[in-house]
Structure 1
Amino acid sequence: MEKPLISVIVPAYNVEKFIGKCIDNILRQSFKDFEVLLIDDGAKDSTPEICDACAKKDSRIKVYHKENGGLSDARNYGIDRMQGKYVTFIDSDDYVDSGYFEYLYGLITQEEDIQIAICGKKSVREDENASPDPETFHEIITGERAVQKMLCGHGSGHSAWGKLYSADLWKTVRYPKGKIYEDYATTYRVMALVDKAAWGNAAMYFYVQHIESIMHQKCSRRSLSLVDIADEETEFIVKKWPALKQEALARKVTSELKCLQNILNAKNEEFDDYKQKIVEDVRRHKGELLASKKVALKTKIKIIALLLGERTFGFIYNLNDGDKKYL
């Protein structure tokens, strides 16, 4: 049997409310040469039955039922079983435009040796049926330039989705099992293997935002692992691409300040080690950060506020971005 050109990996855990729409939009693609790997990660609701029913309707769908191991484990499970020359990831509560695969495939095949194609995304509400934003430009760039744009939050940023990868990029890279922020911990490592990338600004991936998402969860040592991941990424990038130090530090401080806000709002001494680490790191790099053109003005204001004191920082941060008040 001839292998498909594209493998689509869709981890699914307790998403009975969303998985049908996700799969329907995949099957409506104008590009037809693909396989769908639905990875039921031990779901407790009707997700497994929905996946099985969809597989009966279309032979391109393969369903795998496994014990719960988290998003990273489910993606890795799919990577180990994919057959395509290219691979893309879609989260089961998101959806894509009908031209999504065709667009990414057109980007990655416009020249030889392109290893990854990247497009834009739109953040949408759960009840929204979004339309794509058309392309106004596309370009072929180096891997280093693609990393620079990723660090600046362009396109689909660090997210696993919004990209079409050469399957060969995943020969040695896997997602960290049991951790959150798995995209942040992994995408830059994949990008380090890329020599040539294709970038288009059409927004064809629809990222569904949920109030109960990880970005709204309470502060915990697990959520503060973001600080450690930011450290790892920055060290890696500065070593491999010294010219990207400003972008790496700008991305890192954004993550650190968000975590510091959560720590202060939690008012829990358990997190004092992370608080001290963040404050010391910001003070150590304050000159570079405040002088950098890569650091946003509102981030610089937060840095200055932190240098004036924790209470000033907490007030300024919550005034602009917080959903709680630090008193």
Structure 2
Amino acid sequence: MKPELSIIVPVYNTARYLTQCIDSITKQTFKNWELILVDDGSEDGSSELCDEWCQKDARIKVIHKQNTGQADSRNQALKICQGAYIGFVDSDDWIDENMYEILLQEIKSTNSDIAICTHYEESKNDSYANVSTIKRQIINQKEIQQLIIKDKIKSYIWQMLFKQELLQEFMPANKNYEDYSILPHWFHNVKQVVYTNQPLYHYRLRKSSIVHNLSLKRYYEFFQAEISRYHYYVHSPFKKMAKRMVAKRGIKAAKYISRSNSLYTQKEIKSFIIKITKDLKNIHKNGMEKLSYKERFLLFLLLQHPNKFIAYQQFMHKLILHKHRHIDLYE
């Protein structure tokens, strides 16, 4: 029988967590699924674990390949998946046993193209439900694009369930934040999305994960992902909104990079600030529409006086650290 649901799990050196991840998928209350494990050249025993699970359950398939990154792993799985619906799980996370039953029911009962849930953030000693201010609702096409641009719909593809025909465009390979870049493309032909505020996905917070190990390069790459979104919207009615988000993301990236002076040299910091400044100047040639006063000030400082921007951010960071030390001493 052809599977109704394809679940894609890219795997790279996560043997410590992989069993919990796969176990949570095999225990789904919805049973008509296939699981595609894509081993991205793991060296910690993850490859062998994938093969063991494949022997246990005929619904599990394994692709072994050289290390080419998470985006390429997902793309390879998209080429062979058979389901009418597609979900993604990261190999160090796990899901509630009724996650896909609930999301499928939401899609079918509302005739939507995508269903979105929320998630738990799991640390060693704590579990936090990351729920949104958006309650359960049906979101139309115009609202969807606005929410994506404003980052109200997060680019966490692992908390989404897609109709298969939406995912015709592959993720950009060899880049971080590929899900952030691709999301507007995958939502392009979406007429309706159903959003539920139920946390059904368990996102594991790890020090060594890509997202939590932010370097100067990764801050800059996230800003680049925002620029790629802007280019997607540049000929749409949402151009000005996307342009504002580029400014906001550029200011934020420049702020974090400037404040990394305890880890990086001033020369390294300045090289990335110059890159951000150049990118912003190419987009913000004609004004600073609808930015707050503070954002306009910071953008002006960044574009016209990057050295002063760096000095200002490092001074503010020093004040914050001093304040926190004071609180730690007396509370």
The TM-score range, normalised by the shorter chain, is 0.7 to 0.9
CA distance in 1, matches of 2:117, 2:18: 22
Distance 1:137 1:225, change over 3 A: closer
- CA distance in structure 2 between the partners assigned to 1:213 and 1:100 by the alignment: 24
Q: 1:165 maps to which residue?
A: 162
Cα displacement string for residues 290-314 of structure 1 (whole angstroms, at most 9, x for unaligned residues): 17xxxxx9x7896688689412234
How much has 1:168 moved relative to structure 2?
0.7
Is 1:96 aligned with 2:116? no
Shift of residue 272, structure 1, vs aligned partner: 4.5
Q: Distance in 2 between matches of 1:63 and 1:56?
A: 10
Aligned equivalents of 2:158 and 2:319: distance in 1? 31
Residue 208 (structure 2) pairs with residue 207 (structure 1):
no
Q: Counterpart of 1:80 in 2: which secondary structure?
A: helix
Deviation at 1:238, TM superposition (A): 4.5
Shift of 1:58: 1.7
What is the match of residue 240 of structure 1?
236
Match of 1:77 in 2: 76
Conserved in 1, the CA contact under 8 Å of 2:118 and 2:130?
no
Q: Which residue of the partner structure matches residue 251 of structure 2?
A: 257
Task: List aligned pairs for 1:116-155, cutoff 5 A.
Answer: 116-126=114-124, 137-154=135-152
Work out whether residues 25 and 95 of structure 1, in 8 Å CA contact, stay in contact via their aligned partners in 2.
Answer: yes
The aligned amino acid for 2:205 is Q
Q: CA deviation at 1:75?
A: 0.1
- In structure 2, what is the Cα distance between the partners aligned to 1:47 and 1:61? 15
- Structure-2 change in CA distance of 1:149 and 1:121 (3 Å): farther
* Matches of 1:176 and 1:279, distance apart in 2: 22
Closer/same/farther in 2, CA of residues 271 and 136 from structure 1, 3 Å limit? closer
Identity of aligned residues (%): 27
Give deviations 1:71-129, integer Å, cap 9, x for gaps: 011000000010100001111111111111011101111133x2111111222215656
1:116-170, Cα deviation, whole Å (9 max, x unpaired): 1111122221565677979994222223322322333435x11221111111112
Residue correspondences, number: 308
Give the Cα separation in 2 of the matches to 1:57 and 1:245. Answer: 53
Q: Residues of 2 paired with 1:42 and 1:319: CA distance?
A: 45
What pairs with 1:195-234 in structure 2 (closer than 5 Å)?
195-215=191-211, 216-220=213-217, 224-234=220-230
2:186 is matched by which residue type in structure 1? V
Q: CA RMSD in A?
A: 3.1
Letter in 2 for 1:188: P
* Equivalent position amino acid for 1:209 in 2: L
CA change 1:79–1:166 in 2 (3 A) is same
DSSP-derived class of the 2:38 partner = strand
Query: What secondary structure is seen at the aligned counterpart in 2 of 1:240?
Result: coil
In the other structure, the counterpart of 2:278 is: 277
Distance in 2 separating the partners of 1:184 and 1:116: 16
Q: Which runs of 5+ in 2 are unaligned?
A: 322-331
Distance 1:320 1:131 in 2: 28
Task: Specify the code of the residue in structure 2 equivalent to 1:167.
Answer: Q
1:55 counterpart SS class: helix
CA distance in 1, matches of 2:317, 2:206: 22
Instruction: Find the counterpart in structure 2 of residue 30 from structure 1.
Output: 29
Q: Is the 8 A contact 2:121 2:127 kept in 1?
A: no
Aligned to 1:175: 171
Aligned to 2:290: 288
Q: CA deviation at 1:317?
A: 6.0
1:191 is displaced (CA, Å) by 0.7
TM-score (norm 1): 0.82
Partner of 2:328: none
Deviation at 1:56, TM superposition (A): 1.9
Q: Which amino acid aligns with 1:273?
A: I
CA contact (8 A) 2:250 2:276 kept: no
Structure 1 residues 122, 11: closer, same or farther in 2, change over 3 A? same
Contact 1:227 1:255 in 2 (8 A): yes
